Chains A and B, each alone.
Chain A
């Protein structure tokens, strides 16, 4: 897999693998004292009985996940959760992914390609070694553009710059964007004047993932939706991204405290 702090786990979970569809997520908990973390599945293989998640190490819990060795177990894996992607033939589609969001984008792209669409994919990362699933994305796309912030691979710049060109040159029937919230917001803003329906996969803070707490609530078209049961995919033109960004920052200081405490223990 890509270098650095991007991790792939293939997890034995035959029941989940049998039911999972593109766009759905699982909740993982590493140990007794762990928190419940939602991750959208990159792959589900019913024959092998496994599901695959790809995540970036950003704090204590993903650090704990990363430290699991082959043969170790997550204490809890719950899923499949959320609504599957609505996969149908609409014509020309663009799939835009940033960072580890490409892991979530890949099964959706494959599904859209399989449904008979013409797919133009645009994936990006900060540097070449952070690009993930390039070959896989290529195999399910009619055209694939790769972008890096530093120009170390493909287009030197952001995915939105390629998207702009595609919007000018092509008549698109659907756009899908998965990645950092800011990127999904920008993609949605760009497609709006072209009236291209845009699906985004949101990643708010979650606890149970089954609709009982409302911690993951997002404002969609002025109405509160629970991303865990109504989503995680929504119409990007209707999502209040600024509120989502604000809510994602709710525990910034606690997250820092938790990571610090964890690292201090490791250093001891």
Chain B
């Protein structure tokens, strides 16, 4: 048996005691350096789609968990949008009580394998860790991931299941199987409701399956966490486009007591410059969907093709731009440029992903903006005119506004361009749902609990905020689930 595996209760007891003895040594020095996580080398990973970060081994996880000083008033929990009891699960990891660790996390978060990998912990839980001020914060995300990966290898017989307490036969429809919808569905099922998730694509996961690449989030993890949600009694209806195949009003009329809309902000934004419709110019959504959902990187074994560019330009500076650039590297591009109109300091992408991209040879052209795309004689993109930008006065968001430097136009050679400048809410469903209040940006208007202007209809995630993070969508799904449960129990009047 391994140190952190399941073992005979008696032997576990003795090991635990010996560990506690060690812990009681109060003179133990505070370790300010986090245990680093093994990664595939850049030279190696440039050529494959396998996961870059390999995860902690058992001894590494235990060592990192041992750094946690178990604060009485843990601030890290305030930074977690779903409120995981972080010190408790870390203590369980430290003590080798892996089943406890799983239970503690899953009490709040049904998708730890995903969150441990893709949450921006540096602005959430880890940013509040007291060690952050003195040195490196506890690697909470890596430990969460370690627990999730342990669980997937050691299926728990008594992991959290449906609540027997409330089986009133209430039915909830969840529209969209992305992070918000899956979280809401899992929580509602555990509260005892009958949940059906309607998903437009042929696979569940939303951005987790079509957007975030395999090398950052293996699809097997998404599948196994979706399977866990199914084990709670949630039904998934794939290939079901709400707004076309069925309307929200029909769901409410045909037996659903409540509807949660977690449909994301999936419509791509383009630059609106000449030449953007040339062949070889993609939206990041299209490029990533071809690569991740349709597995175009395995063409012709898989049937969906993709342009395997030699000189690729990715326009934008967010995580989606990093993902697209790193996919292009793996598809064999000789040169991949990230073209961003502001400077490195303003980039919204996670620092870790920017570093990963740099290690893999992605070139960054800061303060650069495309103004048009140039065609070859067959209508394919062959060049990109860019201008230099200078940073001017701060705008409403507080970031300095980039201004074009006159006369700085130049043409660079490219054969593939990926536009990653953000997404907007897809109007397909809101446009087909009378009485659903939206803003002028197309987002659905909700109150703090996710209630919309329509009785019995909640919304959360990117469709209410515009493009944001996976975990904030999960937090919104969680808050809505609590409110849906409350409303269904009380059956009170609809008020916002």
Where the two chains meet, the residues of A that have a C-beta atom closer than 8 Å to any C-beta of B are: 15-16, 19, 29, 33-36, 60-61, 64, 75-81, 207-208, 210-215, 217, 219, 224, 229, 243, 246-247, 249-251, 254-255, 257-258, 261-262
Decide if A61 touches B303 in the complex (CB within 8 Å). Answer: yes
Cα A250 to Cα B378 with chains together (Å)? 10
Q: How far is the CB of A15 from chain B (nearest CB, A)?
A: 6
Tell me whether B202 and A246 are in contact (CB under 8 A).
Answer: no
Interface pair A207/B277, CB less than 8 Å apart = no
Q: Is B268 an interface residue (CB 8 A)?
A: yes
Q: Is the CB of A33 within 8 A of B244?
A: no
B residues neighboring A (CB under 8 Å) = 200-202, 238-241, 244-246, 266-268, 270, 276-280, 282-283, 285-286, 289-290, 294-295, 299-305, 307, 378-380, 426-428
Compute how far the CA of A29 lies from the CA of B380 in the bound complex, rounded to whole angstroms. 28
B244 CB contact (under 8 Å) in A79, A213, A262: A79
Contact B305 A210 (CB under 8 A): no
- Are A79 and B305 interface neighbours, CB within 8 A? no
- Give the CA-CA distance A118 to B428 in the complex, in Å: 34
**Shortest distance from the beta carbon of A50 to any chain B beta carbon, whole Å:** 16
Given contacts A15-B246, A212-B268, contact A254 B299 (CB under 8 A): yes
Name the B residues within 8 Å of A80 (CB-CB): 244-245
Q: List 17 A-B contacts (CB under 8 A).
A: A33-B302, A36-B304, A64-B303, A75-B202, A81-B244, A207-B290, A210-B200, A210-B428, A212-B266, A213-B268, A214-B285, A224-B270, A247-B277, A249-B379, A254-B300, A258-B303, A262-B300
Give min CB distance, A78 to chain B, whole Å.
Answer: 5
Rounded to whole angstroms, the CA-CA distance of A217 and B246 in the bound complex is 25
Nearest 9 interchain pairs by C-beta: A254-B305, A213-B286, A246-B379, A212-B266, A35-B303, A250-B279, A35-B304, A76-B202, A78-B239
Of B238, B241, B286, the contact of A81 (CB 8 Å cutoff): B241
Q: Is the CB of B268 within 8 A of A214?
A: yes
* CA of A16 to CA of B244, assembled, Å: 9
Q: How far is the CB of B98 from chain A (nearest CB, A)?
A: 34
B277 contacts A78, CB within 8 Å? no
For B245, list chain A residues within 8 Å (CB): 15-16, 19, 79-80
Q: Which residues of A contact B289 (CB under 8 A)?
A: 207-208, 212-213
- Inter-chain contacts of A246 with B (CB < 8 A): 278-279, 378-379
Residue in A33, A212, A224, A258 whose Cβ sees the most chain B Cβ within 10 Å: A212
Given A16-B245, A33-B301, A210-B200, 13 other A-B residues pairs in contact with their CB atoms under 8 A: A33-B302, A35-B294, A36-B202, A60-B303, A78-B202, A207-B294, A207-B304, A210-B244, A211-B428, A212-B267, A213-B283, A213-B286, A224-B276
Do the beta carbons of A213 and B285 come within 8 Å of each other?
yes
Q: How far is the CA of A59 from the CA of B140 in the complex (A)?
A: 50
Closest A residue to B241 using CB positions:
A210
Report how far A258 CA is from B478 CA in the complex, Å: 44
Which residues on A sit within 8 Å (CB–CB) of B282?
215
Measured between alpha carbons, how far is A102 from B240 in the docked complex, in Å? 28
**Separation of A60 and B302 alpha carbons in the complex (Å):** 11
Q: How far is the CA of A75 from the CA of B286 in the complex (A)?
A: 22
Contact A258 B200 (CB under 8 A): no
| Chain A min CB distance to B423 (Å) | 8
Chain B contact surface mostly: loop
Contacts of B307 in A (CB 8 A): 250
From residue A163, how far is it (CB to closest CB) to chain B in Å? 28
B283, A214: Cβ atoms closer than 8 Å: yes
Which of B239, B246, B290, B428 has its CB near the most chain A CB atoms (within 10 A)?
Answer: B239
What is the number of contacts between chain A and chain B, taking CB atoms within 8 Å?
113
**Residue of A at shortest CB range from B306?**
A254
- The closest CB in chain A to the CB of B286 belongs to A213
Q: Using Cβ atoms and an 8 Å threshold, which residues of chain A touch B380?
A: 250
Shortest C-beta distance, B226 to chain A (Å), equals 17
Residues in A with CB closer than 8 Å to B299 are 254, 258
A262–B303 CA distance with the chains assembled, in angstroms: 10
Rounded to whole Å, the gap between the CB of A178 and the closest CB of chain B is: 21
A224 to chain B, nearest CB (A): 7
Residues of B within 8 A of A215 (CB): 282-283, 286
| Chain A contacts for B279, CB-based, 8 A | 246-247, 249-250
Q: How far is the CA of A29 from the CA of B245 in the complex (A)?
A: 17
User: What's the least CB distance linking B444 to chain A, in Å?
Assistant: 16
Chain A hits for B280, CB < 8 A: 250
Contacts of A33 in B (CB 8 A): 295, 301-303
Nearest-neighbour CB distance to chain B for A265, whole angstroms, equals 10
From A16, A211, A257, give the contact of B426 (CB < 8 A). A211
B249 nearest CB across to chain A (Å): 13
Minimum CB–CB distance from B203 to chain A (whole Å) comes to 9
- Contacts A81-B244, A210-B426, A214-B286 given; indicate if A251 touches B302 (C-beta within 8 A): no
Determine how close the nearest CB of chain B comes to the CB of A32; give it in whole angstroms. Answer: 9
Q: Report yes or no: A207 in contact with B241, Cβ–Cβ below 8 A.
A: no
Q: When chains A and B are docked, how far (Å) is the Cα of A78 from the Cα of B243?
A: 13
Residues of B contacting A262 in the complex (Cβ-Cβ under 8 angstroms): 300
Cβ–Cβ < 8 Å partners of A35 in chain B: 294, 302-304
Residues of B within 8 A of A207 (CB): 286, 289-290, 294, 304
B305–A76 CB distance below 8 A: no
Please, which residues of chain A bring their CB within 8 A of the CB of B295? 33
With both chains docked as a complex, state the minimum distance between the C-beta of B88 and any C-beta of chain A, in angstroms.
Answer: 39
A78-B239, A211-B426 as given contacts; A36 in contact with B294, CB under 8 Å: yes
Residue in B268, B305, B427 whose CB lies within 8 Å of A258: B305
Which residue of chain B lies nearest to A253 when distances are taken between CB atoms in the complex?
B305
**Distance of A250 Cα from B296 Cα, bound (Å):** 15
Q: Which residues of B contact A255 (CB under 8 A)?
A: 305
Q: Are the CB atoms of B426 and A212 closer together than 8 Å?
A: yes
Report the minimum CB–CB distance from A64 to chain B (whole Å).
8
- Tell whether A34 pairs with B303 under 8 Å between CB atoms, given A78-B202, A247-B277, A250-B279: yes
Residues in A neighbouring B244, C-beta threshold 8 A: 19, 79-81, 210
CA of A229 to CA of B431, assembled, Å: 11
A214 with B270: CB separation less than 8 A: yes
Across the interface, name the chain B residue whose C-beta is closest to A24.
B244
- Residue in B201, B282, B378 with the greatest tally of chain A CB atoms within 10 Å: B201
B407 to chain A minimum Cβ distance, whole angstroms, is: 28
